[in-house]
Amino acid sequence: MFEDSDACVAPVLSLREAPGHPHLMARGTFTGHGGITQPAPAPRFSATPGAVRRPPAQPGADTEEIARDWDVPGILGARASRPDPTAAGPKGLQT
């Protein structure tokens, strides 16, 4: 629609589309590490380039450590007491 105009526009991309956009690919905006595509470190400086050293943590992986560090005792052990959302629900039902 705007290809042949001088309007300053940019597409709104989903998180799945963004890493494949030619401009973002040319800028190195996304990087792959550990089989996961994720945003590259920012800001990027020529004299001190950043690097991804490990894949992102799984959601909740560090909850207990952070709760201890921030002294939030109500969170400690909460993960263990919550039901597994991927487990089957009541008999005959799948959640």
Whole-prediction pTM value?
0.53
What per-residue confidence (pLDDT) applies to 87?
A: 57
Cα separation, 75 vs 60, whole angstroms: 11
By percentage, how much of the chain surpasses pLDDT 70?
A: 79
What per-residue confidence (pLDDT) applies to 84?
A: 57
Mean pLDDT of 13-17: 93
Cα-Cα-Cα-Cα torsion 71, 74, 77, 82, nearest 10 degrees, comes to: -150
